[in-house]
Amino acid sequence: MKKHILLLFVVITGFFKVKADEGMWLPQLLESLNEKRMQSLGMKISASDIYDINKGSLKDAIVSFGGFCTGEVISDQGLLLTNHHCGFDAIQNHSTIDKNFIRDGFWARSKAEELPNAGLFVTFIVRIEDVTEQVLSGAPQNLTESARQSIVDKNARQQLNLVQKESYQNAFIRSFFDGNKYYLFVTETYNDVRLVGAPPSAIGNFGKDTDNWMWPRHTGDFSMFRIYAGKDNKPADYSPENIPYKPKKSLSISMSGMKEGDFTMVFGFPGRTSEYLPSKAVEQIMKVNDPAKILIRDKALKVIDKYMRTDEALKIQYASKYAGISNAWKKWQGEVLGLTNTNAVDKKLKYEAAFTDRVNKNPALQAAYGKLLPQLNGLYEQIKPLALARDYYLETTSKIELFTIVQRIRALNTKRDKGSYVGALKKEIDWMTGFLNELSIKVDKEVFAAMMQLYRENQHPAYVSAYAQEAYKKFGNYAAWAEALYAKSVFADKAKVLQQLKNNPNALFEALQTDEAAQLVVSISNLYDNKVAPSLNEKQSAINQLQRSYMKAQMEVFSEKDFYPDANSTLRVAFGNVKGYQSPTGKNYEYYTYLDGVMKKYKPGDYEFDVPEKLRQLYKQKDFGQYAVNGKVPVCFIASNHTTGGNSGSPALDAYGNLVGLNFDRVWEGTMSDINYDASICRNIMVDIRYILFIVDKFAGASHLVEEMNLVYPKK
Which residues are near ligand ARG by CB under 6 A? 85, 205, 208-209, 212-213, 323, 327, 645, 648, 664-665
- To ligand ASP, the closest distance from the beta carbon of 41 in angstroms equals 21
- Of how many residues is the chain composed? 716
List the one residue out of 337, 96, 93, 105 whose CA is nearest residue 193.
93
We find the least distance from the C-beta atom of residue 254 to ligand ASP, in angstroms, to be 22
Q: What are phi and psi of 169, to 5 degrees?
A: -100, 160
State the number of CA atoms in the 13 A half-sphere of 645 facing the CB.
15
Which contiguous run of DSSP H or E holds residue 484? helix 478-488
- Which one of ligand ARG, ligand ASP, none is in contact with 647 (Cβ closer than 5 to 8 A by kind)? ligand ASP
Q: Which is nearer to ligand ARG, 665 or 669 (CB)?
A: 665
Q: Residue with CB nearest ligand ASP?
A: 648
Smallest separation (angstroms) from ligand ARG to the CB of 671: 9
Tell the smallest beta-carbon distance from residue 68 to ligand ASP (Å): 8
For the four alpha carbons of 466, 469, 472 and 473, in that order, the dihedral sign comes to negative
3-state secondary structure of 195: strand
Binding-site residue total for ligand ASP (CB under 6 A)? 9
Q: In the complex with ligand ASP, which residue's Cβ is closer, 569 or 583?
A: 569
Using the contact rule CB under 6 A, the part of the chain among 140-148, 497-505, 538-546, 661-669 near ligand ASP is 661-669
Q: Which residues are CB-contacts of 558 (< 8 A; sequence separation ≥ 6)?
A: 15, 16, 355, 358
Contact present, 565 and 174 (Cβ < 8 Å):
no
Q: Which of 658, 685, 657 is nearest to 669 (CA)?
A: 685
Q: Are 691 and 636 in contact (CB under 8 A)?
A: yes
> Among ligand ARG, ligand ASP, none, what binds residue 643 when CB lies within 5 to 8 Å by partner kind?
ligand ASP
Active site residue 85: yes
Residue 208's binding partner among ligand ARG, ligand ASP, none (Cβ under 5 to 8 angstroms by kind) is ligand ARG
Which listed residue (49, 209, 221, 391) is catalytic? Answer: 221
Which does residue 646 touch among ligand ARG, ligand ASP, none (CB within 5 to 8 A, set by kind)? ligand ASP
Least distance in angstroms from the C-beta of 296 to ligand ARG: 18
3-state secondary structure of 578: strand
The residue (of 66 and 657) whose beta carbon lies closer to ligand ASP is 66
The CA–CA distances, whole Å, from 587 to 212, 215, 392, 427, 671 equal: 19, 12, 36, 52, 17
Is position 648 annotated as part of the catalytic site? Answer: yes
- Alpha helices by DSSP H, listed for 170-289, are 201-204, 208-211, 279-284
Pairing of strands 711-712, 253-254: parallel
Binding to ligand ASP by residue 568, rule CB under 6 A? no
Binding residues for ligand ASP restricted to 600-659, rule: CB under 6 A: 643-648
**Residue 342 or residue 684: which is nearer to ligand ARG going by CB?**
684
The amino acid sitting at 286 is: M
Closest-CA residue to 364 (of 553, 182, 226, 212): 553
CB of 222 to ligand ARG, least distance (A): 12
Nearer to ligand ARG, 193 or 667 (CB): 667
Q: Does position 665 bind ligand ASP by CB under 6 A?
A: yes
- What's the angle, vertex CA 5, arms to CA 4 and CA 10, rounded to 5? 95
Name the residue nearer to ligand ASP (CB basis): 500 or 648: 648
Q: Which of 206, 225, 664, 699 binds ligand ASP (CB under 6 A)?
A: 664
Contact partner, 175, from ligand ASP, ligand ARG, none, Cβ < 5-8 Å per class: none
Residues 6 or more apart whose Cβ sits within 8 Å of residue 389: 459, 460, 463, 528, 532, 536
C-alpha distances out from residue 483 to 455, 492, 516, Å: 18, 11, 13
Question: At closest approach, how far in Å is the CB of 355 from ligand ASP?
Answer: 29
Comparing CA positions, the residue from 573, 565, 572 lying closest to residue 547 is 565
Smaller CB separation from ligand ASP, 83 or 440: 83
Asked if residue 178 binds ligand ASP (CB under 6 A), the reply is: no
Q: What are phi and psi of 230, to 5 degrees?
A: -70, 175
CB of 221 to ligand ARG, least distance (A): 7
Given the complex with ligand ASP, which of 640 and 644 has the nearer CB atom? 644
Per CB under 6 A, the list member of 666, 683, 690, 698 interacting with ligand ASP is 666
Collapsed DSSP state (helix, strand, coil) of residue 130: strand
Out of 85, 201, 440, 674, the active site residue is: 85
Q: 338 vs 645, which CB is nearer to ligand ASP?
A: 645
Report the partner that residue 644 touches, choosing among ligand ASP, ligand ARG, none (CB closer than 5 to 8 A by kind): ligand ASP
**CA–CA distances in Å: residue 639 to residues 21, 38, 220, 333, 660:** 10, 15, 17, 22, 12
Give which of 217, 136, 11, 212 is closest to 552, Cα–Cα. 136
By a kind-dependent CB cut-off of 5 to 8 A, residue 212 interacts, out of ligand ARG, ligand ASP, none, with ligand ARG
DSSP letter (8 states) at residue 114: P
- As measured in angstroms, the least distance from the Cβ of 294 to ligand ARG is 15
* Shortest separation between residue 648's beta carbon and ligand ARG, angstroms: 5
Distance CA 480, CA 476 (A): 8
CB nearer to ligand ARG: give 50 or 63. 63
Q: Kindly name the residue from 648, 673, 678, 688 that is annotated as catalytic.
A: 648
Q: Chain centroid to CA 229: how far?
A: 27
Residues of the shown chain interacting with ligand ASP in the complex, contacts defined by CB under 6 A:
643-648, 664-666
Catalytic residues: 85, 221, 648
